[in-house]
Structure 1
Amino acid sequence: MSDRTILVVGTYDTKDDELNYICNVIRSQGGGVLTMDVSVLGDPTKPTDISKHDVAAEGGHTIREAIDGEDENLAMQIMAKGAAGMAARLHREGRFDGVLVLGGTMGTDLALDVCSALPLGVPKYIVSTVAFSPLIPPERLPADIQMILWAGGLYGLNSVCKASLSQAAGAVLGAARAVEKPQLGRPLIGMTSFGKTVLRYMVALKPALEARGYEVAVFHATGMGGRAFESLAAERAFAAVMDFAPQEVGNHLMGSAISAGADRMTNAGRAGVPQIVAPGCYDLVDFVGWQDPPPRVAGQEVHAHNRLLSSVMMTPDQRRGMAREMCGKLALATAPVTLLLPTKGCNEWDREGGPLRSAEGLAAFVEEIRASCPSNVSLVEIDCHINDAAFAEAALKILDDWISSGSVRPGVIHA
Structure 2
Amino acid sequence: MPPTIPTILLLGTCDTKLSELLFTKSRIEKHTLCQVQIMDIGRNPVTHDKITFPQEIYSSYFTSLKRPTVEIKTLDRTEYIDTLAPYAASFVSHLFTEKKVHAILGIGGSCGTALATQVMRDALPVGVPKLMVSTMASGDVGPYIGETDITMMYSVVDIAGRNRLLERVLGNAAGAIAGMARAYFEDVASKSNQVLAVTEAQTGSGQNQTQTQTAPQSQIQKDPIRIGITMFGVTTPAATAAREHLETILPGCEVYVFHATGSGGKAMERLISEDQLDAVLDLTTTEIADEVVGGVLSAGPTRLCAATKKNIPRVLSLGACDIVNFGTPDSVPSIFAHAGGQQKRVFHPHNSTVTLMRTTKEECIRIAKVIATNLLEGNAGWESNCRTKVILPLGGLSLLDTPQNSFWDPLADRALFATLEDELRGSEILVVRDARPINDPGFAVAAADMLCGLIRQHRGERGSSAE
Whether TM-score is above 0.5 comes out as yes
1:207-247 residue CA offsets vs partner (Å, 9 max, x unmatched):
33223242211111112111110101112322221111111
Larger Rg: 2
Distance in 1 between residues matched to 2:400 and 2:141, nearest whole Å:
34
1:298-331 residue CA offsets vs partner (Å, 9 max, x unmatched):
4433322223432211122112211111111112
User: Taking structure 1 as reference, are residues 256 and 167 closer, same or farther at Cα in structure 2, changes over 3 Å only?
Assistant: farther
The DSSP-based 3-state class of the residue aligned with 2:318 is coil
User: Taking structure 1 as reference, are residues 193 and 20 closer, same or farther at Cα in structure 2, changes over 3 Å only?
Assistant: same
User: Taking structure 1 as reference, are residues 146 and 56 closer, same or farther at Cα in structure 2, changes over 3 Å only?
Assistant: farther
- The answer to whether the Cα contact below 8 Å between 2:227 and 2:281 also exists between their aligned partners in 1 is yes
Shift of 1:154: 4.3
Residue aligning to 1:309: 354
Higher helix share: 2
After the TM superposition, which residues 3-402 of structure 1 pair with which residues of structure 2 at under 5 Å, given as runs? 3-30=5-32, 31-60=34-63, 65-68=71-74, 70-116=75-121, 117-131=123-137, 133-134=139-140, 136-137=142-143, 141-179=146-184, 185-195=223-233, 198-211=235-248, 212-213=250-251, 214-289=253-328, 292-294=331-333, 297-299=336-338, 300-332=345-377, 333=379, 334=382, 335-374=386-425, 375-402=427-454
Shift of 1:399: 2.6
Q: Percent of aligned pairs with the same residue?
A: 29
1:269-292 residue CA offsets vs partner (Å, 9 max, x unmatched):
012222210000011011233761
User: Taking structure 1 as reference, are residues 37 and 63 closer, same or farther at Cα in structure 2, changes over 3 Å only?
Assistant: farther
- The answer to whether the Cα contact below 8 Å between 2:313 and 2:455 also exists between their aligned partners in 1 is no
User: Taking structure 1 as reference, are residues 389 and 257 closer, same or farther at Cα in structure 2, changes over 3 Å only?
Assistant: closer
- The answer to whether the Cα contact below 8 Å between 1:112 and 1:141 also exists between their aligned partners in 2 is no
- The answer to whether the Cα contact below 8 Å between 2:313 and 2:451 also exists between their aligned partners in 1 is no
Distance in 1 between residues matched to 2:417 and 2:230, nearest whole Å:
21
Shift of 1:81: 1.9
Q: Which amino acid aligns with 1:282?
A: C
The DSSP-based 3-state class of the residue aligned with 2:114 is helix
List alignment gaps of at least 5 residues for structure 1: none
Distance in 2 between residues matched to 1:218 and 1:190, nearest whole Å:
6
CA RMSD of aligned residues (A): 2.7
Normalization by structure 1: what TM-score? 0.89
- The answer to whether the Cα contact below 8 Å between 1:99 and 1:123 also exists between their aligned partners in 2 is yes
User: Taking structure 1 as reference, are residues 261 and 166 closer, same or farther at Cα in structure 2, changes over 3 Å only?
Assistant: farther
Distance in 2 between residues matched to 1:153 and 1:310, nearest whole Å:
37
Distance in 1 between residues matched to 2:367 and 2:269, nearest whole Å:
19
Residue aligning to 2:342: none
- The answer to whether the Cα contact below 8 Å between 2:40 and 2:53 also exists between their aligned partners in 1 is yes
Distance in 2 between residues matched to 1:340 and 1:208, nearest whole Å:
17
Shift of 1:65: 2.7
- The answer to whether the Cα contact below 8 Å between 1:254 and 1:297 also exists between their aligned partners in 2 is no
- The answer to whether the Cα contact below 8 Å between 2:328 and 2:354 also exists between their aligned partners in 1 is yes
List alignment gaps of at least 5 residues for structure 2: 192-221, 339-344
- The answer to whether the Cα contact below 8 Å between 1:249 and 1:265 also exists between their aligned partners in 2 is no
Distance in 1 between residues matched to 2:231 and 2:282, nearest whole Å:
8
Q: Which amino acid aligns with 2:149?
A: D
1:354-382 residue CA offsets vs partner (Å, 9 max, x unmatched):
23222232222223223323523211001
After superposing the two structures, state which structure 1 stretch, 333-342 or 120-129, moved more. 333-342
User: Taking structure 1 as reference, are residues 270 and 2 closer, same or farther at Cα in structure 2, changes over 3 Å only?
Assistant: closer
How many residues align? The count is 408
Q: Which amino acid aligns with 2:21?
A: L
- The answer to whether the Cα contact below 8 Å between 2:39 and 2:51 also exists between their aligned partners in 1 is yes
Distance in 2 between residues matched to 1:284 and 1:39, nearest whole Å:
45
After superposing the two structures, state which structure 1 stretch, 169-178 or 227-236, moved more. 169-178
